[in-house]
Structure 1
Amino acid sequence: LTLSLAVVLFLTHSGTTQTVIPTYAHVDAVMGVTLTCSLCPPGTYMHAFCTATKDTVCLSCPTNHFTQFWNYLPKCLYCTNICNGNQIVKEQCSPTRNIVCECKEGYYRLHDFCVKHTQCPSGFGAKQIGTVHRNTECERCPRGTFSAVVSSCARCVNHTDCGQLPVLLRGKSWHDNVCTACTDLKDGTLLRDVLQGFFSHAKLKMRKLSRFVQLLNHDGRPDRLQRFTLLLDVKSWIVTAHKHELAKLPEILRISGFRGAKGKIDRILTQFEKAYRFCKDI
């Protein structure tokens, strides 16, 4: 399609508002004079220079080509952007724009790279949920709220109001109030859930954690390097351990060097033991 700049001028008039066509200087080889020529609008390219009697001749960009700005390019630019890795196509190639890429969900742009949103650890919630343009901002859960998950989008939520139910464990920043009736204590699932949550949240040093896992499993395996694998071992042990084995957790923690964690597990087990005795008596 050949565009006359006169037509372009006509199309850009709107009432009393007129769009000024940008120009460039061109030396006419025949006349030897410098001419002021109109640039070609976005979506077109220059097919022929202007002359003393005719303005610039512009043609539309072919498929998969574009020009984004007013120009006097001899041909349109090829749409070259490739969205890969953690990117998706936001806008397809058009006559006036190259392919536009955008970070996929869960990622944001940082220095031309798509980076995964920060995961807020348990005890922290998303103060500002990440977008394709900014990272997630985490905050420590304030008193009366908690977050029990590792997430880039979960916010802190209020502790459950136990109402008429007894509060077995007061909520912390990383777990909810544990409200319970005697029927909830029968199979030991509630205690195992609380213990697993504790180890998911606790900041345990790797070397001591490896020693702790060895003591739980009664083996001499060499230290493992991945925290995730070690914690998975701990959680698996908690699921299958008998009640009398769970009672030994504080001592195993003490031997492993986790004195602070030992005290906390002691308190959890004591609270549950009191609840067991109470329920047994009624």
Structure 2
Amino acid sequence: MLLLTTMLILGCCSGASTEPHMQTFQHEDPYSGRLLECQLCPPGTYLRKACSDDSSKSDCATCPTGSFTELWNFIPKCLRCGMCVGNRVVKKECTPSQDCVCECKQGYYFNKWLQDCTRHTECSSGYGVISKGTAEKDSKCEQCSSGFFSVEISSDAPCTPHSSCTAADKHVMLKGRTWHDVICASCAEIISRDGAEFLRQILPGFVSHDKMSVSKMRRFVKNNPPAGSSRPTHASISRLSQSDLIGRIKSWVHMATVEQIRKLPETFMKSRIIVGADKLQWRLERIDALVKLCKSKE
């Protein structure tokens, strides 16, 4: 049926012609038996009745709502308009003479290899977007260069320049990295706050950037529920994606007390996140050393 419809649209049956000056097709009159040259119906219409000995013109009718024909034709019924499903949205509505045109929805692009809409690539912490994705192309990432950083996992955020820490009374608490900004403060600020608060500032980027395995993330989330919440079950944790787990850990960091942040290296060790624990412990010792230095100057 589909092949026949296509042939009728293209005018390839019954001696039809698609030449611009010969938009006709041959039709045998059922009463006289004569072979007639009937006019094709223009785009946006369909053939309601072919010409006859009594009428030299074909009877063409406009396609009803929800259907179309794009070419000169002699089909008895218009084609049904397509639908934009899945991760596609309507770019152009269907008209009597043209099918609807779909495009990938916001945050997706058309992957030619898969012939489907795929979510834009998200740049990990330490990488920034150098070319934002569109409905036709994917986003492109590049590692942040010296003096720039990116904290979030994002498909549209570029790298950001490190903050300046040039004031005479400021100390560099932690040097900037590709995944976190420079942390600097005056001695007055350093003494007035627990050093763990400065460590908290880099933890969102640390969680995203430090390549801990999904199994270790799940262990941490299971053993460290948010304040006031019961410990989640193994089944509920196993359903969480890597992105979900990172989000859970970041939420815990945001709500954690100063004492919990200070004990985070120890907490990581209990979850067997050894490398991460060592990195955090080194940074915490660096911060505490500056606190002592500032206090000695009072």
Fold in common (TM above 0.5): yes
How many angstroms does 1:63 deviate by? 3.4
Q: Deviations over 1:181-202 (max 9, x none)?
A: 3454434433222234322321
On the 8 A contact 1:46/1:57 being kept in 2, the answer is yes
Partner of 1:3: none
Query: What is the RMSD of the two structures over their aligned residues, measured on CA atoms?
Result: 3.5
Give the Cα separation in 1 of the matches to 2:223 and 2:46.
Answer: 75
After superposing the two structures, state which structure 1 stretch, 121-130 or 183-192, moved more: 183-192
How many angstroms does 1:83 deviate by? 3.4
Identity score, percent: 34
Q: Deviations over 1:206-227 (max 9, x none)?
A: 344455567768x998764335
Q: What secondary structure sits across from 2:205 in the alignment? A: helix
On the 8 A contact 1:21/1:39 being kept in 2, the answer is no
Residue 211 of structure 2 corresponds to residue 203 of structure 1: yes
Give the Cα separation in 1 of the matches to 2:61 and 2:23.
Answer: 17
Q: What secondary structure sits across from 2:136 in the alignment? A: coil
Count of residues in correspondence between the two structures: 260
Q: Deviations over 1:91-116 (max 9, x none)?
A: 22312122333322112234564332
How many angstroms does 1:204 deviate by? 1.0
* Unaligned ranges ≥5, structure 2: 1-18
Partner of 1:159: 162
Give the Cα separation in 1 of the matches to 2:254 and 2:83.
Answer: 48
Q: What secondary structure sits across from 1:149 in the alignment? A: coil
TM-score (norm 1): 0.74
TM-score (norm 2): 0.70
* Unaligned ranges ≥5, structure 1: 1-18
On the 8 A contact 1:126/1:156 being kept in 2, the answer is yes
Aligned letter for 1:272?
I
How many angstroms does 1:148 deviate by? 0.5
Q: What secondary structure sits across from 1:192 in the alignment? A: helix
Give the Cα separation in 2 of the matches to 1:236 and 1:101.
Answer: 41
1:26 to 1:213, Cα distance in 2 relative to 1, 3 A: closer
Partner of 2:7: none
Which one of 109, 121, 126 corresponds to residue 123 of structure 1?
126
How many angstroms does 1:146 deviate by? 1.5
Give the Cα separation in 2 of the matches to 1:214 and 1:199.
Answer: 16
Give the Cα separation in 2 of the matches to 1:76 and 1:124.
Answer: 51
How many angstroms does 1:153 deviate by? 0.9
Give the Cα separation in 1 of the matches to 2:171 and 2:22.
Answer: 78
Give the Cα separation in 2 of the matches to 1:61 and 1:211.
Answer: 61
Partner of 1:9: none
Mapping for residues 78-227 of structure 1, pairs under 5 Å: 78-79=80-81, 81-110=82-111, 111=114, 113-164=116-167, 165-185=170-190, 186-188=192-194, 189-211=197-219, 224-225=237-238, 226=240, 227=242
Give the Cα separation in 2 of the matches to 1:22 and 1:260.
Answer: 78
How many angstroms does 1:26 deviate by? 0.9
Which one of 62, 67, 76 corresponds to residue 74 of structure 1?
76
